[in-house]
Chain A
């Protein structure tokens, strides 16, 4: 079975721009979660989608948003980028709530 895939792997943007990251979960997995990883804050939960609905949300500003499609693929969007948004963004999928999460390789975003 193919693992979780994320595109693009690397991205460079400038302050004020917006960005969209994509995540394709493992086939059959319906839950997709997003995390931000930075050296200073570590791994922080952004949000989780299940069956196209946001089920959980972390403590991030409204500039961070996401959605999930009927095929379980998910996108996250960050608007009005700030320097502090530079991070590795990880996507994880699981069958549904209460199951083990499997992570993708991440998208490394650099904001200049």
Chain B
């Protein structure tokens, strides 16, 4: 079945450091890939998405590229801020199916 494996945290970085959170997936066909972010006490917010191979999703300085050859969708940000502290979830959804599969989540803490 479809599944997502992401780097487990916690990850602690200093402000302005480079961030990478690894995400790989297993799926049949061509799933859509997502990164969601969850701040304390809140629901999930869509951070970025990509719907086909080689697409790059980007938002608020975060980027991720859909790599079909390596079945990966790694999240990157060049310079993190304290306000980026949150839990990040990688997710996939098979075509025309709302059964989303989520990774375990990666907790990021950014220290000033």
**Taking A31-B98, A48-B99, A56-B98 as contacts, is the C-beta distance between A100 and B34 under 8 angstroms?**
yes
Partner of B98, one of A97, A103, A104, A106: A97
How many residues on the A side are at the interface (Cβ–Cβ under 8 A)?
A: 25
A-B contact count (CB 8 A): 57
Partner of B99, one of A45, A90, A103, A105: A45
Name the prevailing secondary structure of the B interface residues. strand
Which residue of the partner chain A has the closest CB to B98? A48
Partner of B102, one of A42, A48, A100: A42
A33 close to B (CB within 8 Å): yes
Indicate if the CB atoms of B44 and A90 lie closer than 8 Å: yes
How many residues on the B side are at the interface (Cβ–Cβ under 8 A)?
A: 22
Residues on A with C-beta less than 8 A from B42 are: 105-106
B96 close to A (CB within 8 Å): yes
Indicate if the CB atoms of A94 and B98 lie closer than 8 Å: yes
Name the prevailing secondary structure of the A interface residues. strand
Which residue of the partner chain A has the closest CB to B49? A100
Indicate if the CB atoms of A98 and B95 lie closer than 8 Å: yes
**Taking A90-B43, A106-B43 as contacts, is the C-beta distance between A101 and B98 under 8 angstroms?**
yes
CB distance from A33 to the nearest CB of B (A): 5
**Taking A33-B98, A45-B99, A48-B98 as contacts, is the C-beta distance between A103 and B34 under 8 angstroms?**
no
A43 close to B (CB within 8 Å): yes
Residues on B with C-beta less than 8 A from A106 are: 42-43
A58 close to B (CB within 8 Å): yes
Indicate if the CB atoms of A103 and B45 lie closer than 8 Å: yes
Indicate if the CB atoms of B43 and A105 lie closer than 8 Å: yes
9 contacts between A and B (CB under 8 A): A31-B98, A42-B103, A42-B105, A45-B99, A45-B100, A48-B98, A90-B44, A98-B32, A98-B95
Give the top 4 A-B pairs by smallest Cβ distance, nearest first.
A43-B102, A103-B44, A103-B43, A105-B43
Q: A31-B98, A101-B98 are in contact. List 13 more A-B contacts (CB 8 A).
A: A4-B43, A6-B43, A42-B103, A42-B104, A43-B89, A43-B105, A56-B99, A58-B99, A98-B32, A100-B49, A104-B43, A105-B43, A106-B43
